[in-house]
A = this chain, B = another copy of it.
Amino acid sequence: MNIRELARRSGVSTATVSRALNDRAEVSEATRERIRRLASELGYAPNEPARTLVRRRSDTIGLIWDSGQEAQGLHNPFLLGLLSAVRTALSEADYHLMLLTTPAADDPDASYLQAVRRHNLEGVIVLTTPPDDRCLRVLAASDVPCAGIDTAFTGPHTVRVSSDNAAGAEAAVEHLHTLGHRRIATITGPLHLPPAAERLAGYRRACERLGLAVPEEYVVEGDFFLDSGQRAGDRLLALGEPPTAIFAAGDQMAIGAMHAAADLNLSVPRDLAVVGFDDIDAAALVRPSLSTVAQDQRALGEAAVAALRGLLDGPDLTPRSERTVSATPRIVPTRLLVRGSSRPGA
């Protein structure tokens, strides 16, 4: 079943069928309707590769997510929500989605950029901060429109979307302050990662604003994983003047800190309040349940898609300030979820 066959059966030319099915204005309503019905009846679907070939556009976006294994434990649960959000937003905008594979190291020609060219992809969305990736840098430096979520990469046709990490951290600290806490420590992620640095900055800003002292020992760097959180917790609680509350830049570390407290027979939240970041699945499963700063995965996905579309539709036709895109924030707000680990009554 192809367009020629459909044209034959409708008694019109292929051009008319094409016009009818593509909603071109020049077709009479009657013919369009007739062709539509027949197409639906016969189960006709246009051949996309053929369309792509002639139109020189594929309506397809590439998706890159996490190259190595490194980040696996880190962003896992978060990632799936993001993936889902991106997929939904993209399909609502009538784009197709192609999953790009990490290029094999043994094939020098394989690269994200190659894949984009081969498939006529119109843009790429990049999820998570990948380990320093050469292929990704080549892509970012190219003329391919890219939108990165929570990813530090820049290029001429590149946008970055991320949660408002600083504001999220601030909100967490403020929440703890409101609860009466005055000695609030933090466990950070690896500070070379932007989100980790931003969350620390938010913590500092909040403390400053609230007039809280931040002794040097109150800032401990972790690696986002459980054990580092527990070790940091051990250290903090062993201080001469231990904190009464901890803000951890990641949920796994927050849970680790709760374990540290438990090992000292301290009760959470009575003796130590804890707030994490990310709202991973486990946050709602542990006991006490973990208060956390949730990222809005849907909003992130939508913002990324909106930003990418802005890059796609006539990059230079309208003045920057007038583009719809700019209305969509590249910084997505977070939401504080108060649960047992910081709820006085719990």
* Chain A residues close to B by CB (< 8 Å): 39-40, 43, 45-50, 52-53, 58, 63, 66, 73, 76-77, 79-80, 83-84, 87-88, 90-91, 96-99, 101, 108-109, 114, 117-120, 226, 252, 255, 259, 262, 280-282, 284-287
Q: Are A285 and B252 in contact (CB under 8 A)?
A: yes
Instruction: Establish whether residues B99 and A97, one from each chain, have CB atoms under 8 Å apart when the complex forms.
Output: yes
Flag if A87 contacts B114 (CB, 8 Å): no
* Contact A286-B284, Cβ < 8 Å, known A50-B53, A98-B97: no
User: Given A47-B120, A281-B76, A40–B101 Cβ distance below 8 Å?
Assistant: no
Cβ contacts A to B, 25 pairs, < 8 Å: A40-B108, A40-B109, A48-B49, A49-B52, A50-B53, A63-B99, A66-B84, A73-B281, A76-B80, A76-B281, A79-B80, A80-B83, A83-B83, A87-B99, A87-B101, A88-B101, A96-B98, A98-B99, A226-B284, A226-B285, A259-B287, A262-B287, A281-B281, A282-B282, A285-B286
Q: Which single member of B46, B49, B50, B77 contacts A76 (CB below 8 Å)?
A: B77
Give every chain B residue within 8 A of A259 (Cβ-Cβ).
Answer: 287
Contact A53 B47, beta carbon cutoff 8 Å: yes
Given contacts A50-B53, A53-B53, A109-B40, whether A286 and B281 have CB atoms under 8 Å apart is no
Contacts of A120 in B (CB 8 A): 47-49
- Residues in B with CB closer than 8 Å to A73 are 281
Q: Give CA–CA (A87, B100) in the complex, Å.
A: 9
- Would you list the 5 A-B pairs with minimal beta carbon distance, nearest first? A282-B282, A91-B101, A49-B49, A49-B52, A97-B99
When distances are taken between beta carbons in the complex, the residues of chain B under 8 Å from A255 are 285
Residues of B within 8 A of A88 (CB): 101
Q: How far is the CB of A72 from chain B (nearest CB, A)?
A: 8
Partner of A282, one of B52, B80, B286: B286
A329 to chain B: closest CB distance in Å? 25
Contact residues in B for A84 (Cβ distance below 8 Å): 66
Q: How far is the CB of A95 from chain B (nearest CB, A)?
A: 10
Asked if residues B109 and A101 are in contact (CB atoms below 8 Å), the reply is: no
- Which residues of B sit under 8 angstroms from A83, Cβ to Cβ? 80, 83
- For A117, what are the chain B residues with a Cβ–Cβ distance below 8 Å? 43, 45
Residues of chain B with a CB closer than 8 A to A90's CB: 101
Contacts of A226 in B (CB 8 A): 284-285
Residues of B within 8 A of A48 (CB): 49, 118-120
Q: Are A45 and B114 closer than 8 Å at their CB atoms?
A: yes
Question: With A79-B80, A96-B98 given, can you name 9 additional A-B contacts, CB distance below 8 Å?
Answer: A40-B108, A43-B114, A43-B117, A49-B50, A49-B53, A97-B98, A99-B99, A280-B281, A282-B286
Alpha-carbon gap, A34 to B40, bound state (A): 50
Are A58 and B49 within 8 A (Cβ)?
yes
